[in-house]
Amino acid sequence: MTHPLVPQILELATPVAEDLGLEVVSVVFHTNQRPPVLRIDIRNPQQDTGLDDCERMSRALEATLDATEIIPDAYVLEVSSPGISRQLTTDREFISFKGFPVIVQTAPPYEGQQEWVGQLIRRDETAVYLNQKGRVVQIPCSLITRVQLDEHR
């Protein structure tokens, strides 16, 4: 069942995307999460949709949504492309997806866990930093086997 705000969000997102030369593919509002997640899939009809497209759309749409106050409470905006690899590897990806939910896998397990889930804060030379419900977790890079976007949160 579609969230009642989706048609209004689509109405706002479509011209924002068009101004950037992009298309809105889908809008899903996951209200069963805290904070709720507004996920918008976009595509660039001229070329492969890239992180730059997602970043531009995210910034522009965030400003529009904030100005209209259509979503009164805190929420997380996720802009992605159906074609983007879900694994983060480059510094640019780690910067672009700051604040996004991620899954970090380690081998061997770190502090008894092989999988860490949280919001990406940043990555530096030594560690990946996650926010787990307000608690900062620092996972050593030397143990990390994979960092990927968590599409189920």
Domains and CATH numbers, the chain: 6-80 (3.30.300.70), 91-149 (2.30.30.100)
The pLDDT of residue 1 is 59
Report CA torsion sign: 30, 77, 97, 136: negative
50 vs 93: CA distance, rounded Å: 10
Whole-number percent of the chain with pLDDT over 70:
95
Q: How many CB atoms lie within 10 A of CB 27?
A: 22
Residue 43 pLDDT grade (very low, low, confident, very high; cuts 50, 70, 90): confident
Which residue is associated with the tokens 């590897």? 89
Q: Over 70: is that where the pLDDT of 19 sits?
A: yes
60 against 43, higher pLDDT: 60
The pLDDT of residue 64 is 94
Q: 3-state DSSP call for residue 12? A: helix
The pLDDT of residue 49 is 82
- What pTM was computed for the model? 0.54
DSSP state of 88: -
Q: Over 70: is that where the pLDDT of 85 sits?
A: no
Whole-number percent of the chain with pLDDT over 90:
58
Q: Taking residues 93-108, report their average pLDDT.
A: 89
- Among 88, 108, 90, 95, smallest CA distance to 150 is for 88
Q: Taking residues 34-44, report their average pLDDT.
A: 89
